[in-house]
Each structure stands twice: as structure tokens, then as C-alpha cells.
Amino acid sequence: MRLFFNAKIITTLFLSGVSAGLVALDLTGRVEARAFLARVKAPAYELSFYMKELKIGEGNRAELAEQLARRAMLLGRAEQYKRENDALRATLGYRVEMPYELTYARVLERRAETWLETAIVGAGRRDGVAAGMPVVGTEGLVGRVARVTATAAEVELVTGEPVRVAATHAPTGTTGVYYADADGHGHLAHIPRATELKLGDMIVTAATSSLYPPGLIIGRVRAVERPFDSMFAEVEVAPAENMAALENVFIVKWLPAGK
């Protein structure tokens, strides 16, 4: 009887120990599992947080880029009309509504050929884009839409050799023709050699242009030569936009009269 009682106690103690061990293992497993899940979830939460921040940052960057583009357009118009109304310069500190609507687009692809330079941007007919619309960056003129599909557009850059733009030397109001050579360097032709030209002077689209609205910044005077055997100065123009680093553009909702 005593032997049976002792065996029963031993069995009970053994089973209690096993149960306690299993409980401990179960708790340990749960703790480890929770720790493992926490380690797995942490990067996921961080990734989600960073993605949200990235999305917010992308939106802020696009908004800032649009503000800069509008500033560049306003500055070009102000410089063009400075000769007629010096007071306009003082008004730039106030908010001025542009007469053109802008559509934001990312540069998807840039193509360079021997006779033409183009870029593909991510906005098309469904965004209200049409062939012939000007394209600007945050510093000035990029080019104009040559072809358009439902979701994308091909932009002819102002650094392409076939491009010709009626342009004005903003400080004097003298109008000539802007063009680019085979290396993408800008020039301003048909400017009388007596014109007062200074390095850094702004060149903008002319009021007589049939392809662009007036006052868009094309670039700035980089070099001037006055050949003794010519009536015209040789003016080299640095484009306002760095086409090689172009990532974002704005399509100006403007078309020449009759289109």
C-alpha cells in the first residue's frame, strides 16, 4: 500500500513537472514567436512609413517644381516688359496669376540623334496635352510637344538643331532668332552689332513668335562677338534648362492662334 502511494506521488510529481515544462516551453515559444514577429514587423512598419513619406515628398517636390516654373515664367515676362514699365519689377513680390494652366509630367526617356533631340514625358491626350504646346522646366523653356499619345508626349527640345524660335534680348527689346547648333549650343542670330549686350542678359520668347507665348525664358547671353565685316553680333546663349539633368517638366496649356 505504501509502495503504491509512493508511486502515485512520484507519478503525480513527474506529470506536474512535465506539465510545467510544457507550459514553460509553450510560453517560451510564444515569447520567441512574438519576438520573431516583432522583428519581422518592424522593417515592414518602417518600409510602410518610408513609402508614405516618399509619397508625401514626391507630392511636395512636384508642387515646389510648379512654383519654380511659374516663377521662371513670371521673371521672363517681367524682364521683357521692363523697358515699358519699370514698376512691374516691384510687383513681382505679390502673387500674380499666370494666364496659362500647367500640367506636370515626369521625363521618361531622352533621345538624342544627329539632327534632332527629343524627350518622352509622361503626360498625353488624356491629360489635355496637344501637339504644339510649349514645355517648360523650373528655370525656363524646354521645348514644345511634337507628337502625343493617350498617355505620353514627345517633346522637341530647344537644344535640337532644327529648332528656330523668335526671341527677344530682354534688356533692349531687340528681336532675333534663337537656334541651336549640332552640339546643342544656343545662338541668337540677326541682332545688330550695335546692340548693348552683356553677359548674363536674359533671352526670352518674342511677342512675334508663332510657336510660343511671349516672355518664356530661353536662356542667358554666354558670349558676344562683333565681327568687323558683319552687321550683326554673334551671340552665344546658354539654355536656361540643363537638358541632361531634366527630370520633371510642365506642359503649358497654350496653342498658337488658329490651332
The arithmetic mean of pLDDT across residues 42-50, rounded, is 51
pLDDT computed for residue 92 by the predictor: 44
On the question of pLDDT at 179 being above 80, the answer is: yes
On the question of pLDDT at 235 being above 90, the answer is: yes
What share of the chain in percent tops pLDDT 90? 45
What are 62-115's pLDDT values in tens digits?
777 777 777 666 666 666 555 545 444 444 443 334 578 899 999 998 765 544
pLDDT computed for residue 176 by the predictor: 97
Structure confidence at residue 16 as a pLDDT band (50, 70, 90): low
3-state secondary structure of 103: strand
H/E element, 156:
strand 153-157
CA 178 – CA 126 distance, rounded (Å): 32
Whether pTM > 0.75 for this model: the answer is no
Query: What are the angstrom distances between the C-alpha of 118 and each of 156, 176, 201, 214, 246?
Result: 5, 24, 27, 23, 12
On the question of pLDDT at 241 being above 60, the answer is: yes
What are 139-153's pLDDT values in tens digits?
899 999 999 999 999
